[in-house]
Chains A and B, each alone.
Chain A
Amino acid sequence: MNALHPQALHASPAGWPGDIFSALKAARVRQVAYVPDGGHAELIRAVHADPAMVAIPLTTEEEGVALVSGAWLGGDRACLLMQSSGVGNCINMLSLVRNMGGPFLTFVTMRGEWGEFNPWQVPMGTGTPDAFRLMGVHVLRADRPEEVGPATAAGIRMAYEGGSAVAVLLAQQLIGAKVFVK
Chain B
Amino acid sequence: MSKPLNRLDRRAVVARLLKDRGEAIVVTGLGSPTYDVAAVGDHDRNVYLWGAMGGCAVMALGIALARPDTPVIAVTGDGEMLMGIGSFATIAMQAPKNLTVVVLDNGLYGETGGQASHSVVADLAAIAGASGIADARAIDAMGDVETLAARATALGNGPCVAVVRIEQAELERVLPTRDGHAVRARVRQSLGLSID
Contact = CB atoms under 8 A, between A and B. Distances in A.
Interface stretch (A12-20, A88-96, A118-126, A172-180): A88-96
A75 B66 contact: yes
Contacts of A66: 52, 54-56, 58-59, 62, 84
Interface in A72-128: 72-76, 78, 92-93, 95-96, 99-102
B55 A93 contact: yes
A73 B187 contact: yes
A81 to B, nearest CB: 14
A72 B89 CA distance: 22
A74 B184 contact: no
A70 interface: yes
B114 interface: no
A58 B84 CA distance: 11
B58 A63 contact: yes
Given A56-B94, A74-B67, A100 B180 contact: yes
B108 interface: no
Contacts of A99: 50-52, 180-181
A67 B90 CA distance: 10
A75 B94 contact: no
Given A62-B55, A66-B58, A99-B51, A57 B63 contact: no
| Most B Cβ at <10 Å: residue of A4, A67, A70, A92 | A70
A93 B66 contact: no
| Most B Cβ at <10 Å: residue of A92, A100, A102 | A100
Contacts of B87: 59, 63
A65 interface: yes
A164 B61 CA distance: 22
A135 interface: no
B52 A96 contact: yes
A8 interface: no
A70 B61 CA distance: 7
B93 interface: yes
A69 interface: yes
A68 B93 CA distance: 16
A70 B90 contact: no
A71 B52 contact: no
| Most B Cβ at <10 Å: residue of A59, A63, A93 | A63
A170 to B, nearest CB: 24
B196 A67 contact: no
A31 B54 contact: no
Contacts of B102: none
Interface in B61-103: 61-67, 70, 84, 86-87, 89-90, 93-94
A56 B65 CA distance: 10
B94 A73 contact: no
B180 A70 contact: no
A70 B53 CA distance: 14
Interface string A30-64: 11000000000000000000000010111110110
A182 B100 CA distance: 48
11 contacts: A54-B94, A56-B90, A59-B87, A63-B55, A70-B60, A71-B62, A73-B47, A73-B184, A76-B66, A95-B51, A99-B181
Interface of B: 25, 27, 47, 49-56, 58-67, 70, 84, 86-87, 89-90, 93-94, 180-181, 183-184, 187-188, 191, 193, 196
Q: Please list the 7 inter-chain residue pairs (A to B) with the smallest Cβ-Cβ separation, ordered nearest first.
A: A70-B62, A74-B66, A59-B86, A66-B55, A99-B180, A76-B66, A100-B180
